[in-house]
Amino acid sequence: MKVGASSSMAFAITATASKITVSAEVLPTVESDHQMLAHIKRAHRLEVEAEKVQEDLRAEGVLKKKEFVLAELKAALALEEERKKEAEIKVIELEARMAKSISEVMIRAVEEFKTSFKMMKLNVEFGQQAFIKGFELYEG
């Protein structure tokens, strides 16, 4: 419809976060082209603002999703660090047990060697050599 000086059209503009609606209503007053232009500019401005709001809402949603993922990653990292500490403690405990076992085996080996025939033979030979040396010193 062509709007002129005799037109009886007015525009009602409503805006929500997701949609802008511009509706024409018949009014008993006459609007000029200047008023129509002002309504169109206002409608455009509201549309731009609504698009900005939508963009902000999308960005906010993305940010919340990233924050959620970050929280999950932090929890996973904390769990992994706890497991690592537990593993390190187990390694230390095993190393201590291994060192103790090695010491016990060495002690047993020495004791077995002491009681073995070979050790007895070495003790006899050492005793004989010591006796002979002492005798030589005495006569000497």
79 is written with which tokens? 């769990």
Gap between the Cα atoms of 30 and 75, Å rounded: 66
Q: How far apart, in whole angstroms, are the C-alpha atoms of residue 3 and residue 1?
A: 6
Residue 108's pLDDT band, with cuts at 50, 70 and 90, is very high
pLDDT digits (tens, 9 = 90+) for 41-99: 999 999 999 999 999 999 999 999 999 999 999 999 999 999 999 999 999 999 999 99
Tokens of 119: 């050790």
* Residue 116, pLDDT score: 80
8 Å CB contact between 57 and 17:
yes
pLDDT number for residue 28: 42
Does the pLDDT value for residue 37 go beyond 60? yes
The 3-class SS string of the chain reads CCCCCCCCEEEEEEECCCCEEEEEEECCCCCCHHHHHHHHHHHHHHHHHHHHHHHHHHHHHHHHHHHHHHHHHHHHHHHHHHHHHHHHHHHHHHHHHHHHHHHHHHHHHHHHHHHCHHHHHHHHHHHHHHHHHHHHHHHC
